[in-house]
Amino acid sequence: MNKDRVKDLALLPAHRLHELIVSGETTSLEITESVLANIERRDPVIKAYLTVLRDSALRAADRVDRKVKAGERINPLSGIPLALKDNMCMIGTETTCSSRILKGFVSPYDAAVVERLLAVDSVIVGKTNLDEFAMGSSTENSAFGPTRNPWDPERAPGGSSGGSAAAVTAGEAILALGSDTGGSIRQPAAFCGIVGLKPTYGRVSRYGLVAFASSLDQIGPLTRDVTDCALLMNVIGGHDSRDSTSAEIECPNFTKSLTTDIRGLKMGVPREYFQEGLDPEVERSIKGAIKLLEEFGAESVEISLPHYGYALAVYYIVAPAEASSNLARYDGVKYGYRHPERENLLDMYCKTKSEGFGPEVKRRIMLGTFALSSGYYDAYYLKAQKVRTLIKNDFDQAFKKCDIVMIPTTPTPAFLIGEKVDDPLQMYLSDVFTLSVNLTGLPGMVIPCGFSSGRLPIGLQMIGRAFDEKTLFRAAYTFEQNTDHHKQTPDFSKIER
């Protein structure tokens, strides 16, 4: 097989590859082999994957090719190689959440999103690296080592879905799924120069997603362009009775929202987000993107989100509190790691958790346990939930004046690996623009909108009303069709072996 053709195939979006499969110009097997070749050549540096499912992926691709030869109609995602963040369960496959405490755990069931992907014959090529239990903003907190950013291997890909974002960027997957609890899809999308969507809370089933903070977690797509994002949402979105938080709201065909008519669209620009601490190059790119959309008929209006400054404090009470409850199940009794030397049950608990969890997970468990403890519940957790309501009310008021809120995704482009990992507060501040979306349950989409002087991607974040992802798709598609940021690729010579 021609090596250049291999590389070209792996960097095409899914909708284009679907056309090539249906026309007979290529096959799912050839596309899958191209992705696997890139994993072999690039992942020793990038380290996006924890598990590569080479054999099962090739078998799945071959099944799709036989269907095409037989004249069967296939789904737009049939035969398309896709990566799963390793906090989503898949039958017979290790699910570690990048934690030693789950090393060796093999899931006995499929997550709802995995069921839906397999039902349309998507090709799952592997499970990707993440910050342990999705707690982090750089994918440095993984027990199995950090993932690196394909644009600059000395820099972080973002987190916690850094493995999924890096895989798509490096041509090691055509599509990927991540989870977003405080920005964990959107921040890696911005750092890696791809599209990321955190859907409305309840839009995508969380059944089979290993829980971090149950009122905040949401699964969503990481893709090369907006069309692919819509196609993936068409498959994974919709009600699931096994998830008590899944919304009983019909999921629309998101590809019908891919139009370039944004006349009359009102874009809210909150003054609080454009202040000291925002990198000038990021600010220029975001404001340039807003200006471009104005040229196509959208209107920008200044809005205020006065409780924005409290989001970080609220999040780091609510999320750790829920984490301390959810992670109590990892005790060495039922599954996962168990310390081999123990004197009694309490000793086993202490040794298992001490060795099984990493420093960031321990930090958040302790924070959360303290916030929920007797005498502190009202002072911390209850108060945080009340302020969370105030943040939600701010957005309700803002959406009376606008259809969509336009803000940066991150204060800076991708930071260096090691730059913030030993300073938790600085790491937490990198999520300051993304947390409100999870606290309010609203949908947020990130699209590439520019580059820094150091050739690092910058992402525009758009926030919509609950269950109004369609407006996000319309604005994002309009921007994308009139720019070429999404077509840019890294210099792969830096990461190939």
As beta bridge partners, residue 464 has 404
3-state SS, one letter per residue, for the chain: CCHHHHHHHHCCCHHHHHHHHHHCCCCHHHHHHHHHHHHHHHHHHHCCEEEECHHHHHHHHHHHHHHHHCCCCCCCCCCCEEEEECCECCCCCECCCCCHHHCCCECCCCCHHHHHHHHCCCEEEEEECCCHHHCCCCCCCCCCCCCCECCECCECCCCCCHHHHHHHHCCCCCEEEEECCCCCCHHHHHHHCCEEEECCCCCECCCCECCCCCCCCCEEEEECCHHHHHHHHHHHECCCCCCCCCCCCCCCCHHHHCCCCCCCCEEEEEHHHCCCCCCHHHHHHHHHHHHHHHHCCCEEEEECCCCHHHHHHHHHHHHHHHHHHHHHHCCCCCCCCCCCCCCCHHHHHHHHHHHHCCHHHHHHHHHHHHHHCCCCCHHHHHHHHHHHHHHHHHHHHHCCCCCEEEEECCCCCCCECCCCCCCHHHHHHCCCCCHHHHHHCCCEEEEEEEECCCCCEEEEEEEECCCCHHHHHHHHHHHHHCCCHHHCCCCHHHCCC
Q: Which of 107, 137, 142, 160 is catalytic?
A: 160
Residue 138 known to be catalytic:
no
- Per-residue pLDDT tens for 184-218? 999 999 999 999 999 999 999 999 999 999 999 99
User: Of 28, 78, 184, 246, which residue is the catalytic one?
Assistant: 184
pLDDT at 1: 42
| Closest by Cα among 299, 252, 232 to 469 | 252
10-residue stretch averages of pLDDT, the chain, 497 residues long: 60 97 97 97 98 98 98 98 98 97 94 98 98 98 98 98 98 98 98 98 98 98 98 98 97 96 97 92 98 98 96 97 95 87 89 94 96 91 97 98 98 97 90 97 98 98 98 98 96 91
Per-residue model confidence (pLDDT) at position 276: 84
Using one digit for the tens of pLDDT, what is the confidence trace for 239-271?
Answer: 999 999 999 999 999 999 999 999 999 999 999
Output the six-digit token pair for 220: 């969503």
Q: Please pick, among 28, 47, 85, 122, the residue that the annotation labels catalytic.
A: 85
7 is catalytic: no
What domains lie within the chain, and their CATH numbers?
A: 3-272+283-305+397-494 (3.90.1300.10)
Whether the link from the prior residue into 244 is cis, omega within 30° of 0, is no
For residue 438, the model assigns a pLDDT of 98
Residue 184 annotated in active site: yes
